[in-house]
């Protein structure tokens, strides 16, 4: 492992830890991405993941609305909106009614060297009154466990951020992976806050819309990842909105505007 790279990654992260993310403070630009492979071409890449698909319908509303159809429709609408925006490329993990595993979805984001990965959902909650949009990042505990698990598995530590780790001893590899993972996690937290700030007042939000959970689809150590619950099919008002093309277009327009800004900022960092 290149010693200079290790140092720049280390100092970058220390600086980011000291300067970035104080609660409630205005952030000073995206954390730098030391040693990161640039994404293909001059564009920022957003990988959009329509949740569920194929034999997995996801949640099903009282009127029969299937989550897999809602998520695909919203993702296609976001892609169409962003298609005209310079400097942003949108890739869908699926563009049809196909089944995909969660690791396959995560891998697509990694292969594209995406600036941002966003999985779109419209799930069900035990409480039928729960409604509104929310955004999830990977829970801190799950994020820590992930770094530990990755470090423990030789096949996954061969390279990260394009840096060959095969010659690194176990401890060095573990430190590098932890730094990389922490970096993506911090970028995901900033993206989450921007997205919710942007949607506030334009879309109905769930209480405490900034959430964290142990979702497998958020476990890319390299790509800042979010999961957006666009609403709840278990709520009759939300189901009415989510099955209506015009309401979906509105949700997509708000999300697209937020994502376009976030991705270009990540790209230019
Ligand atoms: Zn879902």
pTM: 0.79
CA 38 to each of CA 82, 131, 206: distance values in angstroms, whole numbers, following the listed order: 21, 39, 35
pLDDT digits (tens, 9 = 90+) for 164-198: 666 667 777 778 778 888 888 999 999 999 999 99
Residue 123 near residue 66 (C-beta atoms within 8 A): no
Ligand 1 centroid – CA 58 distance (Å)? 5
Ligand 1 centroid – CA 232 distance (Å)? 10
Looking at residue 169, its pLDDT comes to 73
Strands 159-160 and 133-138: unpaired
Ligand 1 centroid – CA 60 distance (Å)? 10
Residue 45 near residue 39 (C-beta atoms within 8 A): yes
Looking at residue 267, its pLDDT comes to 75
pLDDT digits (tens, 9 = 90+) for 55-92: 999 999 999 999 999 999 999 999 999 987 888 999 99
Mind giving me the DSSP string for 23-68? TTPPP-SPPP-TTPPPPSSSSEEEEEEE--BTTB---B-TT--BHH
Ligand 1 centroid – CA 230 distance (Å)? 10
Region 123-127: mean pLDDT is: 90
pLDDT digits (tens, 9 = 90+) for 132-167: 999 999 987 776 676 666 666 544 555 555 556 666
Strands 159-160 and 163-164: antiparallel
With cut-offs at 50, 70 and 90, classify the pLDDT of residue 206. Answer: very high
Ligand 1 centroid – CA 96 distance (Å)? 16
pLDDT digits (tens, 9 = 90+) for 213-248: 888 899 888 899 999 999 999 999 999 999 999 999
Question: pLDDT: is 86 or 31 the higher one?
Answer: 86
Looking at residue 37, its pLDDT comes to 47
Ligand 1 centroid – CA 247 distance (Å)? 19
Ligand 1 centroid – CA 61 distance (Å)? 12
Q: Which residues surround ligand 1, an ion (CB under 5 A)?
A: 51, 58, 121, 123
Residue 243 near residue 170 (C-beta atoms within 8 A): no
Ligand 1 centroid – CA 197 distance (Å)? 23
Torsion, CA 29, CA 35, CA 40, CA 46, rounded to 10: -40
Question: pLDDT: is 134 or 22 the higher one?
Answer: 134
Ligand 1 centroid – CA 121 distance (Å)? 4
Ligand 1 centroid – CA 252 distance (Å)? 17
Task: Pull the structure tokens for residue 45.
Answer: 């890449």
- Report angle CA 51, 246, 239 to the nearest 5 degrees: 55
Region 104-121: mean pLDDT is: 94
pLDDT digits (tens, 9 = 90+) for 249-265: 999 999 999 998 898 78
With 50 as the cut, is the pLDDT of residue 39 above it?
A: no
Looking at residue 100, its pLDDT comes to 95
Looking at residue 171, its pLDDT comes to 77
Looking at residue 124, its pLDDT comes to 92
Q: Which of 70, 187, 192, 68 is nearest to 134 (CA)?
A: 192
Lowest mean pLDDT among 24-38, 132-146, 193-207: 24-38
Ligand 1 centroid – CA 51 distance (Å)? 5
- Biggest CA–CA distance in the chain, Å, is 59
Average pLDDT, the chain: 82
Residue 18 near residue 37 (C-beta atoms within 8 A): no
């Amino acid at each position: 492992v290149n010693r200079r790279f290790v140092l720049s990654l280390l100092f970058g992260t220390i600086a980011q830890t000291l300067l970035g993310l104080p609660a409630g403070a205005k952030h000073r630009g995206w954390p730098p991405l030391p040693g990161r492979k640039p994404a293909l071409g001059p564009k920022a890449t957003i990988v959009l993941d329509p949740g569920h698909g194929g034999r997995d319908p996801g949640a099903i509303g009282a009127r029969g609305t299937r989550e897999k159809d809602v998520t695909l429709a919203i993702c296609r609408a976001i892609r169409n909106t962003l298609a005209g925006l310079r400097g942003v490329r949108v890739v869908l993990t699926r563009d049809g009614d196909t089944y995909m595993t969660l690791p396959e979805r995560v891998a697509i984001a990694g292969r594209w060297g995406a600036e941002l990965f966003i999985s779109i959902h419209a799930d069900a909650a035990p409480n039928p009154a729960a409604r509104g949009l929310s955004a999830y990042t990977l829970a801190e505990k799950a994020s820590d466990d992930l770094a530990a698990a990755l470090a423990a598995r030789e096949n996954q530590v061969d390279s990260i951020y394009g840096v060959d780790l095969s010659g690194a001893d176990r401890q060095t590899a573990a430190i590098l992976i932890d730094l990389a993972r922490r970096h993506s996690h911090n970028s995901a937290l900033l993206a989450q806050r921007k997205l919710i700030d942007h949607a506030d007042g334009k879309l109905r939000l769930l209480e405490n819309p900034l959430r964290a959970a142990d979702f497998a689809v958020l476990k890319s150590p390299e790509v800042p990842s979010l999961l957006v619950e666009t609403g709840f099919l278990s709520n009759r008002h939300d189901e009415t909105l989510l099955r209506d093309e015009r309401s979906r277009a509105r949700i997509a327009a708000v999300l697209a505007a937020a994502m376009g800004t976030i991705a270009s900022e990540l790209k230019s960092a």
